[in-house]
């Protein structure tokens, strides 16, 4: 009972970190066949706590948390009430562990400090570990930043093991502290090349591993580009692909952009966005979203000029798109 009280107390105390935070909601449809329903998911701005929001959206899409259709936005306090309510219903919930992890989560507003291991999609190192929270809530944390065991760099990357170790190795080589050996210098060069070639923090091999080990219809938390999002594997014979939920607040009024296909873009190309029925977005939406996400526009004026020019030259209803400047950090 004391652990339960501590967990609940921690959730309430966390609201002080987000006392002024209000996040827009977005209506989407989700599910297959008779299970298809309308849901209100939580969107986020560039300062939003993506860890907490990703967990909330998984619980929402699983039907464990319900947000009334009349609501247009939610606060941390409102969401925390729903999380506590759901946590109370779990007989196997370790409240003391959850309490610790929830205390850490809001500290990662701008960047999620997780340490992916390059040889295992479910393995993370480092002190900040939210898997203890995800487990009791029925969620799983994965990443697709994996080295291909058949690649030339596989041996070195496997020995270095994880992201933080690689960064440390590269830093020491740059500083040239203690005259690093030729072997260490070569390893640092290999890791620099690996980082350069996998800037999306996804690899073709990693995506293949996720696809082969994920059950159709599964919802998980995906770590990618220092950000957490909802990962979904479609339960469809014609397209059993992996998709991540698009929760950017600037797209809260755009029904054509709900999911982004998880694919290898390290060699170039633009991301693929689809709606709730997994129908590819129109050319206008693809253009605007791609350029905003990739940070092509440096200021809001150039963003709006480009948006308006492209919208006017295409059959696209500007009223359905929220033309607010947004730059992903």
Q: Global pTM?
A: 0.78
Q: Is 18 exposed, middle or buried (0-12, 13-18, 19+ CB in 10 A)?
A: buried
State whether 14 and 49 are in the same domain.
yes
pLDDT at 261 (0 to 100): 92
Q: E strand or H helix at 274, and its extent?
A: strand 273-274
- Order of all β-strands in the sheet with 37-42: 37-42, 22-30, 73-75
CA distances from residue 284 to 65, 268, 288, 316, 320 in whole angstroms, order as listed: 34, 19, 6, 7, 12
State whether 130 and 45 are in the same domain.
yes
| Three-class secondary structure of residue 119 per DSSP | coil
Contacting residues for 105 by C-beta, under 8 A, at least 6 apart: 14, 49, 51, 52, 130, 133
State whether 24 and 124 are in the same domain.
yes
State whether 135 and 180 are in the same domain.
no
Specify the DSSP class assigned to residue 91.
T
Range of the domain at 96: 2-145+201-320
State whether 139 and 106 are in the same domain.
yes
For the chain, the domain total comes to: 2
* Partners of residue 124 on adjacent β-strands: 116
Q: Is residue 326 part of a domain?
A: no
Q: Is residue 327 part of a domain?
A: no
End-to-end CA distance of the chain: 41
Q: Is residue 15 part of a domain?
A: yes
pLDDT at 91 (0 to 100): 64
What is the number of alpha carbons within 13 Å of residue 41 lying toward its C-beta?
Answer: 32
CA distance 329 to 325: 13
Q: Is residue 6 part of a domain?
A: yes
CA distances from residue 134 to 87, 283, 327 in whole angstroms, order as listed: 11, 37, 28
Cα-based angle 284, 288, 292 (whole degrees, multiple of 5) = 170
pLDDT at 88 (0 to 100): 75
Taking the CA atoms of residue 115, residue 117, residue 122 and residue 128 in that order, the dihedral angle to the nearest 10 degrees is -20
Q: Is residue 325 part of a domain?
A: no
Q: What tokens does 232 get?
A: 């979904």
Burial letters 73-110, b for 16+ CB under 10 A, else e: ebebeebbbbbbebbeeeeebbbeebbbbbeebbebbe
Q: What tokens does 141 get?
A: 């944390």
State whether 183 and 207 are in the same domain.
no
State whether 161 and 274 are in the same domain.
no
State whether 190 and 52 are in the same domain.
no
State whether 103 and 173 are in the same domain.
no
Strands 242-245 and 273-274: unpaired
The backbone region for 218, taken as left when phi is positive above 0, alpha when psi lies in -120 to 50, beta otherwise, is: beta
CA distance 110 to 51: 10
Of 247, 218, 248, residue with least CA distance to 231: 218
State whether 20 and 70 are in the same domain.
yes
Of 106, 114, 117, 126, residue with least CA distance to 225: 114
The backbone region for 157, taken as left when phi is positive above 0, alpha when psi lies in -120 to 50, beta otherwise, is: alpha
**Could you state, in chain order, the average pLDDT of each consecutive group of 10 residues for the chain (329 residues)?**
44 48 92 92 76 89 92 88 79 53 47 83 75 68 96 96 93 74 88 93 95 93 89 88 91 89 76 91 63 51 58 48 41
Q: What tokens does 152 get?
A: 């030339």
State whether 260 and 281 are in the same domain.
yes
pLDDT at 40 (0 to 100): 96
Q: What tokens does 296 get?
A: 């092509």
């Amino acid at each position: 009972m004391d652990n339960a009280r501590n967990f609940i107390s921690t959730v309430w105390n966390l609201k002080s970190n987000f006392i002024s935070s209000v996040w827009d909601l977005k209506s989407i449809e989700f599910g297959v066949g008779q299970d298809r329903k309308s849901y209100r998911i939580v969107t986020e701005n560039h300062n939003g706590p993506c860890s907490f929001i990703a967990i909330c959206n998984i619980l929402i899409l699983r039907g464990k948390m319900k947000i009334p259709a009349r609501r247009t936005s939610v606060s941390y306090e409102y969401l925390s009430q729903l999380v506590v309510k759901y946590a109370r219903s779990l007989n196997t919930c370790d409240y003391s562990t959850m309490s610790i992890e929830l205390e850490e989560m809001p500290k990662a507003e701008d960047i999620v400090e997780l340490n992916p291991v390059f040889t295992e999609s479910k393995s993370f190192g480092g002190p900040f570990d939210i898997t203890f929270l995800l487990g009791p809530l029925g969620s799983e944390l994965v990443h697709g930043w994996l080295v291909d065991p058949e690649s030339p760099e596989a041996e070195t990357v496997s020995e270095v093991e994880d992201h933080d170790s690689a960064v440390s190795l590269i830093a020491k080589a740059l500083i040239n502290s203690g005259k690093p050996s030729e072997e260490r210098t070569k390893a640092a060069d290999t890791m620099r090349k690996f980082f350069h070639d996998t800037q999306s923090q996804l690899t073709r091999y990693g995506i293949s591993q996720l696809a082969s080990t994920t059950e159709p219809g599964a919802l998980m938390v995906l770590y990618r580009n220092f950000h957490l999002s909802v990962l979904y594997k479609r339960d469809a014979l014609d397209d059993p692909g992996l998709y991540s939920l698009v929760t950017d607040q600037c797209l809260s009024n755009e029904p054509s952009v709900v999911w982004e296909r998880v694919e290898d873009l390290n060699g170039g190309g633009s991301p693929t966005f689809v709606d709730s029925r997994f129908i590819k977005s129109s050319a206008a939406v693809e253009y605007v979203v791609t350029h905003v996400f990739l940070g092509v526009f440096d200021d809001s004026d150039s963003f709006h000029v480009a948006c308006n020019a492209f919208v006017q030259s295409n059959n696209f209803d500007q009223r359905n798109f929220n033309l607010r400047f947004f730059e992903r950090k």
